């Protein structure tokens, strides 16, 4: 994949599309980001065939169908999602069905633009898969576009990216190169996020965070994820919890749970976070960026926990510590309350 990175890089979008042979792009965004998407489409002149501001979290199939219906009237040769994982996710689901190539302009730290992972939701069930057809052909990272991302969204979105790196460090198919990317990505974000929260207009911190998000997203795209991602997928699908906030709450507990069986990963993580105890460091990072402290704050209740734990172990997957329903139930109990993560060790 190609990447253009830097302040003002979005002004190179038209050239980038032309270099790839694309001259009729449909620009996609959420409703909230539609003005930005329209501005970017305006910069493409007759290279844009329209803007669709209908993307929403978890990619409902009806949004995919409506966008595909729009394609038949506009005949684009490419899709340009502008925004976070919701906009990129809509483009991927459309690409999966139509084969249209994607050039992504991310504006959050979720990292979806770096992965061949697609998802879509139909009748309350979120389906995901990997397919190289949905991997963007090029990504334009312009830190200027993230200056408007609210402090809280920035913080939880950045911790969502760190979660990709954490699970890459103990992935069964990891490699020294992926681990190096995970360490640098985590270090960049852990350093930049508190600075962004204290000054959302700090362009240096925004640039550093975007670089971290790029690296962490690439980790997600290249190796197998474990308990943390399976758990968040189950919680998001069954209880519709907000994606990035949920990742920010759950991550320290999964790290505490896995720590004893992944000593090398924990050493690398401690190095990246600049603290000896990674679970506690991640928990403190969440507090320092104002992330919700518990799943209870996100709307989960005690009565949901058995169902959530059952879903999280429904199909087998690799994880440093073997995953049992009882252990996941205990982990979720701690995350529900927001008690210190050491309690799940
Ligand atoms: P999002 O795309 O829904 O964005 C969060 C909110 O921030 C939205 O309201 C959006 O309009 C707003 N926003 C985005 N950019 C902004 C900006 N620059 N300024 C102001 N507001 C802005 O959320 P997200 O956390 O980026 O993505 C979450 C979704 O992405 C989930 O559905 C998740 O499953 C998916 N995801 C997929 C992958 C993958 O590899 N397939 C990876 C990570 C996340």
Residue 344 above 90 pLDDT? no
Ligand 1 touching residue 312 (CB < 6 A)? no
pLDDT of residue 24: 98
Ligand 1 touching residue 244 (CB < 6 A)? yes
pLDDT of residue 9: 98
Q: How far apart are CA 75 and CA 101, in angstroms?
A: 13
The domains of the chain, with CATH numbers, are: 2-146 (3.40.50.1970), 151-337 (1.20.1090.10)
CA of 103 to the centre of ligand 1 (A): 16
Question: 99-130, pLDDT tens digit by residue?
Answer: 999 999 999 999 999 999 999 988 877 789 99
Ligand 1 touching residue 102 (CB < 6 A)? no
Q: Using CA positions, which residue lies closest to atom 2 of ligand 1?
A: 84
Residue 40 above 90 pLDDT? yes
Overall pTM surpassing 0.85 (yes/no):
yes
Ligand 1 touching residue 58 (CB < 6 A)? yes
Question: 56-97, pLDDT tens digit by residue?
Answer: 988 999 999 999 999 988 999 999 999 999 999 999 999 999
Ligand 1 touching residue 106 (CB < 6 A)? no
């Amino acid at each position: 994949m190609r990447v253009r990175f830097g302040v003002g890089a979005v002004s190179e979008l038209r050239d980038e599309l032309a270099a790839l042979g694309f001259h009729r792009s449909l620009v996609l965004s959420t409703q909230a980001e539609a003005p930005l998407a329209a501005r970017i489409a305006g910069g493409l002149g007759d290279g844009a065939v329209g803007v669709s501001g209908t993307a929403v979290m978890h990619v409902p199939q009806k949004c995919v169908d409506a966008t595909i219906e729009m394609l038949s009237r506009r005949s684009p040769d490419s899709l340009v999602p502008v925004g976070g994982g919701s906009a990129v996710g809509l483009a991927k689901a459309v690409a999966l069905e139509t084969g249209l190539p994607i050039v992504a302009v991310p504006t959050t730290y979720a990292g979806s633009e770096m992965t061949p992972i697609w998802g879509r939701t139909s009748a309350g069930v979120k389906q995901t898969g990997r397919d190289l057809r949905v991997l963007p052909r090029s990504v334009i990272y312009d830190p200027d576009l993230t200056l408007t991302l609210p402090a809280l969204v920035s913080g939880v979105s950045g911790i969502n990216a760190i979660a990709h790196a954490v699970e890459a460090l103990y992935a069964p198919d990891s490699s020294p190169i992926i681990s190096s990317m995970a360490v640098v990505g985590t270090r960049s974000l852990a350093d930049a996020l508190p600075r962004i929260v204290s000054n959302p207009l700090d362009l240096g911190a925004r640039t550093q965070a975007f670089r971290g998000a790029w690296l962490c997203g690439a980790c997600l795209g290249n190796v197998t994820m474990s308990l943390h991602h399976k758990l968040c997928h189950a919680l998001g699908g069954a209880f519709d919890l907000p994606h990035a906030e949920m990742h920010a709450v759950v991550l320290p507990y999964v790290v505490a749970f896995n720590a004893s069986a992944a000593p090398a990963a924990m050493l690398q993580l401690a190095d990246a976070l600049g603290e000896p105890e990674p679970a506690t460091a991640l928990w403190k990072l969440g507090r320092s960026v104002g992330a919700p402290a518990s799943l209870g704050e996100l709307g989960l209740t005690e009565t949901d926990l058995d169902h959530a734990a059952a879903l999280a172990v429904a199909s087998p997957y690799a994880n440093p510590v073997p995953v049992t329903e009882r252990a996941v139930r205990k982990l979720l109990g701690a995350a529900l309350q927001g008690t210190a993560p050491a309690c799940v060790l």
